[in-house]
Amino acid sequence: MSGVTVRIEGLVKHFGRVEALKMLDLELKPGELVAFLGPSGCGKTTTLLLMAGIYKPTAGEIYFDDNRVDQLHPRERDIGMVFQSYALYPHLSLFENIAFPLRLQRVVKSEVKRKVEQTAELLGITEQLQRRPGMVSGGQQQRAALARALVKEPQLLLLDEPLSNLDALIRLSARAEIRRLQQDLSITSILVTHDQAEALAMADRVACFSVGEVQQYATPDELYERPANTFVAGFVGFPPMNLIEGTFNGGFKAKDLGVAVPDGHSGGKGHLGIRPEDVRFDGDILGKVLLIESLGRDALLTLDVGGNILKAMAAKGMESRPGDEVKLSFPQQWLHLFDVNGERLDR
């Protein structure tokens, strides 16, 4: 298997009068895993189905290497796909499920057997091959679905929420396993997910979607450290970043809160962002504790800071109760500045 370069140019999809995808330009390098991240209804699955050829685009072009594919039938695109529900055929054994794409290509029997067994071994489901999907566990179904997608050695792998039906525990190991497999095979892949932890953990690059548009296309680190706008800032990272609406005027002022901010803004209304884990418990900003939620190792505090409701992460053992006053500081290097439209004011 070898990865393919994927190029999406000006892709648009309308369903009737609904603009599911407004305008998309994206490029995937060979062997890269790109996550499409976003809330439901943001256009990420639509994009995936456009890549697969289930939908035809309203406008725009898709290229695999230098071949234009957006008008081709799915079978001419050489892709493998894993669905959220796995979409295994319940009336066929796992063996026949995995063999299905090969049978359609009229591969000779002995070759089918060899390839299916090889792929099953890769995914550790050799023992279950004669069973039907209803007879094996969710994790095994998921592996079988992955095996079916990989068995014909596609040039592009599409994963549509492949992990969201798994138990939390298996999900973590499956996450690592898919990533390892994808890197071993160096197959270009797209992962659609609404789980930002999954996207950040697995992907080389993440395309963050909202209302039919890509808000930011960057590496996980960059997405986390330099979100391009307030949507990405609020969506990536958990607990989500605090976004305070206020006015820049030398410093930043929101209700009774005044914060010193780095340069780079030109004054006027805007948003100040700080992640809960970046709030420090020393300094001269006064806050009142409203609520404490234990997260195990840490505690998440809900604070009233000068009339603004903020969240802050505190180490366990910090003695405070609802109603207490705490002293805070917002370190300048961890502040994110956004203009009135939510776009990042770059430093």
Sites of contact with other proteins (CB under 8 A): 49, 52-54, 73-75, 79-81, 83-91, 100-101, 104-105, 133-134, 141, 148, 152, 158
Question: By C-beta, is 91 or 255 nearer to other proteins?
Answer: 91
Q: How many residues in the chain?
A: 347
Alpha-carbon torsion angle 330, 332, 333, 334, nearest 10 = 30
CB of 52 to other proteins, least distance (A): 5
Question: By C-beta, is 152 or 175 nearer to other proteins?
Answer: 152
Q: What is d(CA 299, CA 314) in angstroms, rounded to the nearest whole number? A: 5
CB of 8 to other proteins, least distance (A): 18
Q: What is d(CA 293, CA 296) in angstroms, rounded to the nearest whole number? A: 9
Q: What is d(CA 262, CA 296) in angstroms, rounded to the nearest whole number? A: 34
CB of 51 to other proteins, least distance (A): 10
**Over the chain, what HEC string results?**
CCCCCEEEEEEEEEECCEEEEEEEEEEECCCCEEEEECCCCCCHHHHHHHHHCCCCCCEEEEEECCEECCCCCHHHCCEEEECCCCCCCCCCCHHHHHHHHHHHCCCCHHHHHHHHHHHHHHHCCHHHCCCCHHHCCHHHHHHHHHHHHHCCCCCEEEEECCCCCCCHHHHHHHHHHHHHHHHHHCCEEEEEECCHHHHHHHCCEEEEEECCEEEEEECHHHHHHCCCEHHHHHHCCCCCCEEEEEEEECEEEECCEEECCCCCCCCEEEEEEECHHHCEEEEEEEEEEEEEEECCCEEEEEEEECCEEEEEEEECCCCCCCCCEEEEECCHHHCEEEECCCEECCC
CB of 181 to other proteins, least distance (A): 19
Question: By C-beta, is 148 or 336 nearer to other proteins?
Answer: 148
CB of 136 to other proteins, least distance (A): 10
**Residues in contact with 247: Cβ distance below 8 Å, sequence separation at least 6, in sequence order:** 253, 254, 267, 268, 269, 270
Question: By C-beta, is 83 or 334 nearer to other proteins?
Answer: 83
- Residue 240 is given by DSSP the state P
CB of 90 to other proteins, least distance (A): 4
Question: By C-beta, is 74 or 240 nearer to other proteins?
Answer: 74
Question: By C-beta, is 86 or 330 nearer to other proteins?
Answer: 86
Question: By C-beta, is 148 or 344 nearer to other proteins?
Answer: 148
CB of 152 to other proteins, least distance (A): 7
CB of 69 to other proteins, least distance (A): 13
Question: By C-beta, is 74 or 258 nearer to other proteins?
Answer: 74
Question: By C-beta, is 84 or 247 nearer to other proteins?
Answer: 84
CB of 186 to other proteins, least distance (A): 21
